[in-house]
Amino acid sequence: AQRYEAASTIYGPHTLSAYIQLFRNLAKAIATELHLWKSSLWMQLFMKLQL
């Protein structure tokens, strides 16, 4: 997998790693039918994406 971030992002150099971790956990939750939406972290991320 390519992990180049064009040198930097407005959120910092570890943005890609953070997204990989979040979406890996989301994929596991979907596969096992866990309910993550009650988690405040996922709700915050969801609300930011709605803007």
For the four alpha carbons of 27, 29, 32 and 35, in that order, the dihedral sign comes to negative
- Residue 47 Ramachandran class (φ > 0 left, ψ -120 to 50 alpha, else beta): alpha
* Predicted local confidence at residue 8, as pLDDT: 62
Digit-coded pLDDT (tens) for 2-50: 566 555 667 777 788 888 888 898 888 778 876 665 667 767 777 777 6
So where are the chain's domains?
Answer: 15-50
